[in-house]
Amino acid sequence: MTSGISERTDFVWRLVRWSGVLAVAYCFAGCASKPVEEPPPSLPVQVSGTELDPYNMGKIRTPESVHAYYLGPYVDPQDSGVRHDAHRISRVEQPAHWNLSPSAPTAVPLGPVVAVADPAQQVGLLSGELENKIAQANTLIATLIEQNDVLQKKLDERDKELDKLSSRLSELERP
């Protein structure tokens, strides 16, 4: 019996030794292995004219305006047995909308030559009342310019007369 037990313990010790050697060998083999190269992520195909510059986004669409309000604790007006704790409410004050009159010039292809159409410079149709007021302002400006010219001529004539008078006075004062 003792020889059978010693053979078993001897076998177990050999098994433990070999398994330890194999574990160490696997550790060193794992350290020496080459890293697997992952392929670079594929970039999406870019199509011209489909991306918007984030800095120019405001020229095309204005963002929404959201404000937060604080409500203190209160009793529900529908049910006096319900009390609401203090909390914050977020409310959309102004929804997002498209900018239909951009200030940036827009390139318009017109065949071989590209013209620039600036929406800010385009004149829209005016109402009759506004056209009358503009015409009145233009006539007023024209009369002011004419009066300014007349006054400037009078001032020039007086300057000439003053020069003549000062030259006469200097002649009279000489002995």
Question: Is-above-0.75 flag for pTM?
Answer: no
Write phi, then psi, for 156 (nearest 5 degrees).
-65, -40
Residue 158 has pLDDT above 70, yes or no: yes
Phi-psi region of 49 (alpha: psi -120 to 50; beta: other; left: phi over 0): left
- Let me know: does 108 contact 117? Beta carbons within 8 Å: yes
Domains of the chain by residue range: 1-32, 57-117, 130-175
As a whole-number percent, the residues of the chain with pLDDT over 70 amount to 67
What is the per-residue pLDDT for 106? 55
Nearest of 36, 16, 17, 20 to residue 28 by alpha carbon: 20
Summarised one tens digit per residue, pLDDT across range 77-95 is: 999 999 999 989 889 988 9
pLDDT of 64 higher than 70: yes
Q: Record the tokens describing residue 8, joined without a space.
A: 């078993």
